[in-house]
Amino acid sequence: MGFRQSWFLVVLAILPIVCHGVCNYPAIFNFGDSTSDTGSIHYVFPYNELAESPPYGQTYFGKPVGRYSDGRLSVDFFATALGLPFLSPYLQSVGSNFGHGVNFAAAGATVRETSFIAPVSLTVQINQFKIFKQKVLDSINQHGPLDYLPSEEAFKSGVYVLEIGGNDFSFGYMNLNLTPAQVKQTMLPKVARAVAGAVQALYDEGARTVLVKDVAPQGCGSFWLTYFYPSDFDQNGCSTSYNDAVLFYNRVLRTQLAKLRRKLSDASIIYVNTYDIVYDFFSNPSKHGFQETTKACCGVGGNYNYDYAVQCGSSGTIKGQNVTAVACANPGAHVTWDGVHWTDEANRLLTKQILSGNYFEPSFSLAKFCDLQSV
């Protein structure tokens, strides 16, 4: 749904995730939606996004930086763990440095080309990448290597990450008025095939290491629990039907990637199981240091501290009362930041688990290429 401090501070902040030594991945090319958008949507619709206003960014950056969180996103932690700076958004016209990769993700983006929140579907992002790559190679041929642009080798040996799909569900629910069962039947296989098609397109452009993240448990999110009024709950307070739709999609995505993997045997095409990581935050919160799960940190109203009419950082009227959706005192104690997106702490723990390698299918070791260490 819905959008550089010193190097020393970055390294300290990501502990216990650190990277020692040289990493053989010189760049990250990221594609996705608001879960990994580091500012693109701000440049598409300037002064029209919640993430441009406080309290977004308050925990780490101290100000809004176009990220839908109180701090860093998983892609930020991932970049730091690989020894790379944060990724500049592709559409950022001033102050960008693409020497270590590019972030094409945009909040509201869908996999399929639908008219939803933002006109920056995965197809658009892949096309942006193709144009970017060609312009970079043309520049290298004319001027030689430039520090602020990726090297030709970076396009071959970089890591490509896809983190997208959640908004396709929401489009089905909100725009087409479909139930979770209907979304499963009519939409999700097409979405999974489109993701596989995007991976194929990246492979055709030279990508050989592609990480594809699945969709996290939407049925545990404050937005879904409030906007759709589900009546089926599991022992952790999550909607079984909305989570079942996600689990169905993730299984189909696994199958599509497995087929592609057999076809593209010289590539590492990795399914990243984020669902199980995040669901454990909801089922075993104290193990991870969380005190609140389905209740958003930033919001206003009800059991989930969320109201679609007055979202995080905005003001409005609810039942005749003028209210402002403000942040909680301790965001790190919450899994959910604004009802849809994760807190800085949840993103940190999510990335730590991903880097462990236990949630890659098939098995894949980042430690083979980077000296990753947990402390």
Task: State how far the Cα of 88 lies from the Cα of 165, in Å rounded to an integer.
Answer: 22
Question: Widest CA span of the chain, in angstroms?
Answer: 63
Domain count, the chain: 1
Backbone angles phi, psi at 263, to 5 degrees: -75, -40
In terms of DSSP bridges, do strands 371-374 and 17-20 run parallel, antiparallel, or are they unpaired? Answer: antiparallel
Range of the domain at 114: 7-297+341-374
Burial 249-284 (b: 16+ CB within 10 A, else e): bbebbbebbeebbeebeebebbbbbbbebbbbbbbe
What distance in Å separates the CA atoms of residue 28 and residue 149, rounded to the nearest whole number?
A: 12
> Does residue 315 lie within any of the structural domains?
no
Taking CA atoms, 49 is separated from 32, 89, 109, 175, in Å, by 17, 16, 14, 20
| 41 to 117, 123, 222, 365, 369: CA distances (angstroms) | 10, 16, 23, 33, 32
Query: In tens digits, what is the pLDDT along the chain, a chain of 375 residues?
Result: 443 343 333 333 333 334 334 578 999 999 999 999 999 999 888 887 889 999 999 999 999 999 999 999 999 999 999 999 999 999 998 999 999 999 999 999 999 987 778 889 999 999 999 999 999 999 999 999 999 999 999 999 999 999 999 999 999 999 999 999 999 999 999 999 999 999 999 999 999 999 999 999 999 999 999 999 999 999 999 999 999 999 999 999 999 999 999 999 999 999 999 999 999 999 999 999 999 999 999 999 899 999 999 999 999 999 899 999 999 999 999 999 999 999 999 999 999 999 999 999 999 988 788 776 442
**Residue 1 domain-assigned?**
no
Q: Which two tokens stand for residue 72?
A: 């860093």
Judge contact between 163 and 37, C-beta under 8 A: no
Would residue 269 count as lying in a domain? yes
Question: Which amino acids are annotated catalytic?
Answer: 34, 338, 341
277 within some domain: yes
Reference 111, options 50, 197, 180; nearest CA is: 197
Cα dihedral angle (117, 122, 127, 131), rounded to 10 degrees? Answer: 80
Do the beta carbons of residue 305 and residue 296 sit within 8 Å? yes
pTM of the model: 0.92
Residue 317 belongs to a domain: no
DSSP state of 264: -
- The C-alpha atoms of residue 71 and residue 74 are separated, in whole angstroms, by 10
Q: Which CATH number goes with the domain that contains 209?
A: 3.40.50.1110
Quick check: is 330 in a domain? no
Q: Answer yes or no: is 289 within a domain.
A: yes
CB atoms within 10 A of CB 375: 6
Closest CA to 272 of 209, 208, 342, 343: 209
Residue 311 in domain: no
Q: Which helix (H) or strand (E) holds 342?
A: none
